[in-house]
Amino acid sequence: MILENITMAEFKRHLKKTNTIIVPFGTVEEHGNHLPLNTDTLIIYEVLKEVVKKRNVFLAPPVFYGVCTTTSQHPGTIGITPETLRRLTCDIVRDAYKKGLRTFFLVTGHGGGLHSSALKEAAELLIEDLKGIKIAVLCPYDILYKELAELAETPNDSHAGEIETSLVLSLAPELVKGRSKEDYPKLPKPFVVKDKIRYWRSGVWGDPAKASREKGEKAVKLIVRTIVRIIDQASTVPPAS
């Protein structure tokens, strides 16, 4: 049940069938010169639309803004702070809780470290405050790192590379504008540097030229299957007391 498309009467009726909601998180972030700024949001929201066809749960509208660090200086990236993401997440969950929802899946299409940490920190706060709640935070790219790597021909494929390009080719091919050249960040880890573009001008991590719609379709099926399995696991987890 896609939340923004229903009336309050439909919400009340559906709430009698399920108290579970999925909240997608994405970004407005550069993805090379060939993918749209909404890549993270687009992929996760379209994948989750397939998930809710298989399970009787609510799907909230996506949160388009996220925490971007390495890409923060690239043209088009518009990010928020970890504090803002934590507070926004807590506000969304707390108000949904007031409306009768009790099981929450916070699913992010952006795998940034500070971004994911902010979501997990919000979940820790919420599990302490809200009686009867169940909450999970997950990023498909983290859970399925090995399986997605096996689909790719590019070793160490990541941001705007082979798999992400393949996913957009399968979900919204009209938004793929050619292919950026293969590239990888050259950040001098463990140092944190201010001029990030100096070390990663292209914003590409991998080889988009190796992307294909077929790989994207396989990745979509894999992610959908995994998220459905995790949703089913909720019945084995006791609610917060």
pLDDT tens digit sequence for 42-81? 999 999 999 999 999 999 999 999 999 999 999 999 999 9
Establish if 239 belongs to a structural domain: no
Establish if 140 belongs to a structural domain: yes
Q: What is the mean pLDDT of residues 129-147?
A: 97
Establish if 208 belongs to a structural domain: yes
Q: What is the mean pLDDT of residues 13-18?
A: 96
Establish if 9 belongs to a structural domain: yes
The pLDDT assigned to 146 comes to 95
Q: Both tokens of residue 165?
A: 């390009």
Residues with Cβ within 8 Å of 181's Cβ and at least 6 positions away in sequence, in order, are: 202, 204, 209
The pLDDT assigned to 44 comes to 98
Q: What is the pLDDT of residues 72-87, one digit of tens each?
A: 999 999 999 999 999 9
Q: What is the pLDDT of residues 190-215, one digit of tens each?
A: 999 999 999 999 999 999 999 999 99
Establish if 75 belongs to a structural domain: yes
Q: How many folded domains does the chain comprise?
A: 1
Q: CA 22 to CA 58: how far, in whole Å?
A: 6
Q: CA 138 to CA 226: how far, in whole Å?
A: 11
Q: Residue 241: which pLDDT band, with cuts at 50, 70 and 90?
A: confident
Q: Both tokens of residue 98?
A: 């007031």
Structural domain that includes position 62: 3-233
- CA-to-CA dists, residue 240 to 69, 86, 133, 136, 181, angstroms: 33, 20, 5, 12, 48
Spell out the alpha helix ranges (H) of 60-103: 82-98
Q: What is the pLDDT of residues 16-41, one digit of tens each?
A: 999 999 999 999 999 999 999 999 99
Contact 62, 105 (CB under 8 A): no
Q: What is the CATH number of the domain that holds 196?
A: 3.40.50.10310
Establish if 51 belongs to a structural domain: yes
Establish if 240 belongs to a structural domain: no
**Residue 59, SS3 per DSSP:** strand
Q: CA 117 to CA 22: how far, in whole Å?
A: 18
Lookup result for tokens 């070793």: 155
pLDDT above 90 covers what percent of the chain? 100
Angle, CA 116 vertex, CA 115 and CA 118 arms, to 5°: 65
Establish if 150 belongs to a structural domain: yes
